[in-house]
A = this chain, B = another copy of it.
Amino acid sequence: MELIRNNSRITLLSIDGLGGIENPKYGESELEFARTPNLDILAAESETGMITHVGTGITPGSGPGHLALFGYDPTEHDIGRGILSALGVGHSPAKDEVFFRGNFAAQGPSGNIIDRRAGRIDTAANNKLCELLSSRIKEINGIQVKFITEKEHRFILILKGQGLSHRVTGTDPQATGVRKPSSKPAAGSTEKESEFTSSVVNELTNAIDKTLAGNDSPANTVLLRGASVLPAIQSLSERYLLDKCLCIATYPMYKGLARLVGMEIAGSPEEEDMHHLASTYKNNKDNYDFIFIHVKKADSYGEDGNFEKKVQVIDMVDKVLIPALTYGNFSDRVLCVTGDHSTPTVMAAHSWHPVPILIRSNYCRMSRSAKFNERECAKGPLGTFPAKNLMALLLAHARRIQKYGA
């Protein structure tokens, strides 16, 4: 497709884990049960449908789910959590760095993992532990080591130096009652850089365990995963001629993903605040070609299996955020509301079910449906379509795609 630049603006609101299925106790999905008068009016004026992110039957993680929304095939761009978290906390990655996602965790005297999250220690405790580790461990075999707090029990480990590889396994057993495994070269990797990096990780792990022994927090070890490097990926500007893009999000991983594809990152408070998301949008809406807004808590409560709380998040999106996004007319602007995957509370986990989507512009084939939910959107004019087609639709509504042929 041949793209053009113009003055149009595109807003993409992703409500993480938006989709659901019937909760037998309520006889409806979270989105059906929620009070969404503003979304319902919007849906009637919009093109509605259902979107799949990675593939039919495939349950997306939040990283791949959002990458798909931005138009990148997540099966072609395998982006480790380490680099996403590093970008998320504002680190500017260098090419000689390898990133890991780390958990502060608790192990027993025998080395068996007791708690993979060390009682979900708070961010302040995490900060103290990262300071302790940074002061004691600066280098392993000529490789610089950095520890950066992410949030709660999560931190980022950065290895920096020559001869490193991200093709190594982590040390997170993903289970309790067992010892943490050693890092090894990833399956199929025979390069000597993988051998070397694994040996650094294993030596480092011993040093960390010694350093943390006897500290006053429940955390006495770390679990590492998601080894990754700065990936080669086009920016939204290169890919879609969307030159000025803004991410309005609270959680680091989403900011990281947005930075990776070239978005600026708006400031945010520590905790997700719907009013702050709305006001940040209002203050910036005229200055960007593309604005991505991320609401996390619908997914968090979905994963907790908390129907009522997930419903409340959707209620608040409708009450606070949607009025801000729909204020004014739709000349030269496009609004899309969807999510990155379903998180049905009855499953208390991400799922493969397609996610409702609406696209509002002045060029809509209106759904005239009275509700924004799974059932109504499944009957909508867009049908069920893969996320890789979404950006083309948004760019089309923004009149940013040239006619093909005469």
Contact = CB atoms under 8 A, between A and B. Distances in A.
Contact of A58 (B22, B50, B54, B396): B396
A140 interface: no
A364 B21 contact: yes
Interface stretch (A231-239, A272-280, A311-319, A383-391): A383-391
Contacts of A346: 363
A78 B405 CA distance: 8
A396 B365 contact: no
Binding site secondary structure of chain A: loop
Interface in A52-92: 54-65, 74-75, 78, 81
A392 B64 contact: no
Interface residues of A, number: 57
A41 interface: no
Given A56-B385, A64-B405, A375-B381, A21 B395 contact: no
A404 B62 CA distance: 9
Interface stretch (A210-218, A242-250, A347-355): A347-355
Interface in A1-60: 1, 21-22, 29, 50, 54-60
A195 interface: no
A216 B350 CA distance: 69
Interface in A359-395: 363-366, 368, 374-375, 378-385, 389, 392-395
B363 A344 contact: yes
B56 A392 contact: yes
Contacts of A22: 364-366
A262 interface: no
Contacts of A54: 404-405
A110 B363 CA distance: 40
A393 B57 contact: yes
A226 interface: yes
Contact of A59 (B58, B349, B396): B396
* 10 tightest Cβ-Cβ pairs between the two chains A and B: A57-B392, A61-B405, A57-B396, A64-B405, A56-B389, A352-B396, A383-B384, A61-B406, A59-B403, A57-B393
